[in-house]
Structure 1
Amino acid sequence: MELHGDKVVLRPVADGDTEILERIVREPEVAAWWSPPDDYEGMLAVVFEGEVVGAVQFAEETDPEFRRAGIDVFLTAKRHGQGLGADTVRTLARWLVRERGHHRLTIDPAADNTVAIRCYGKVGFKPVGIMRAYGRDHRTGVWKDGLLMDLLADELV
């Protein structure tokens, strides 16, 4: 599977990508929001101009009465602010809606991650509500609030 956005290409993480992704997820600007994954199986590498710049993953609920998907993404700090995050999320969201048949997508950034929240808003995600003490900060052990955001298929920008 390879998905093409306006700027990025999403493809399965290959063996040679793991070391790059490990470095990215340990960058202070990324580590503030992401703990290092146990493995990268099932993730898609985010490639920009031939360079792996991050990863994105999705999880699907396949029960027909609750069919939906969730998205998580991280990018190297040196590529923040270039529209790559929005392009990544939009590209994966379009595939999840058009090819996988989901009518609703969710994303759940930390409530104080204003940069991510703004990025997801550009794709059409809307705040649903605060999830109190939603995730533990892997660096401090402190529970942090999360913001649940969702996007209905007909709202995809």
Structure 2
Amino acid sequence: MIYKDGYIKVRELREEDNHLLAKWLSDPEVLQYYEGRDNPFDLEKVNEKFYNCDENEMKCMIVFDSVEIGYIQFYKLDEETRNHYGYIDSTDKIYGMDQFIGETNYWNKGVGTDVVKSMVTFLIKQKHADLVVMDPQTWNERAIRCYEKCGFKKAALLPKNELHEGEYRDCWLIEYRR
């Protein structure tokens, strides 16, 4: 287990979680916000993207009252990403994070806010992060409101930063400073 905070537990991704990831990442409601509806995942694609890749990323499951409801990952920013975000000369210890709640019946209940707050607390207290960053797409106002409730601030506009549903979308670089 990575950490437990009240009713939320974050644990490392296990091989048997691939079926849940495939279920969530083939749901058009989830894909609208994460990966894109034109990019559904099957088991093979889940295994390729989540299990055979960057060991710098800590890939985790979000568990709410013993039910797996979503995915979260965190990582120390590498030199290329630091440069892309404009932190190349910074001596700050910077972590990035990404997440989604795959069980849509947990949406709009404050669970996402609690997950983000608890992960930020973990990164600051346990990983000694000076700065936590994310780059949500500018149109995703619900996610941005959640992140702002958690203390994130918009730092920079990242034009045409992420391919989503056939077009490059603008994103906000948002920061949480210790």
Q: d(CA) in 2 for partners of 1:145 and 1:62?
A: 21
Q: State the TM-score, normalizing by the size of structure 1.
A: 0.87
* Corresponding residue for residue 33 of structure 1: 33
* Corresponding residue for residue 58 of structure 1: 74
**Equivalent of residue 71 in structure 1, options 69, 73, 97:** 97
Matched residue count: 151
Q: CA deviation at 1:78?
A: 1.6
Q: CA deviation at 1:56?
A: 0.3
* Corresponding residue for residue 81 of structure 1: 108
* 2:92–2:130 contact (8 Å) kept in structure 1: no
Deviation above 4 Å: which 4+ runs of structure 1? none
* Corresponding residue for residue 84 of structure 2: none
Q: CA deviation at 1:148?
A: 1.0
Residues 6-155 of structure 1 aligned to structure 2 (within 5 Å):
6-35=6-35, 36=41, 38-41=48-51, 42-61=58-77, 65-76=91-102, 77-137=104-164, 140-153=165-178
Query: RMSD in angstroms over aligned alpha carbons?
Result: 1.9
Provide structure 2 residue ranges, at least 5 long, that are not aligned to the other structure.
36-40, 52-57, 80-89
Deviation by residue 1:9-57 (Cα, 9 ceiling, x = unmatched): 1000112211112211222222112225543343110011211111000
3-state SS in 2 of match to 1:72: strand
Larger Rg belongs to: 2
Percent sequence identity is 23
Q: d(CA) in 2 for partners of 1:85 and 1:25?
A: 17
Amino acid at match of 1:123: C
Q: CA deviation at 1:67?
A: 1.6
Deviation by residue 1:77-136 (Cα, 9 ceiling, x = unmatched): 221111111111111111111111111110111100011001111110011122110100
Provide structure 1 residue ranges, at least 5 long, that are not aligned to the other structure.
none
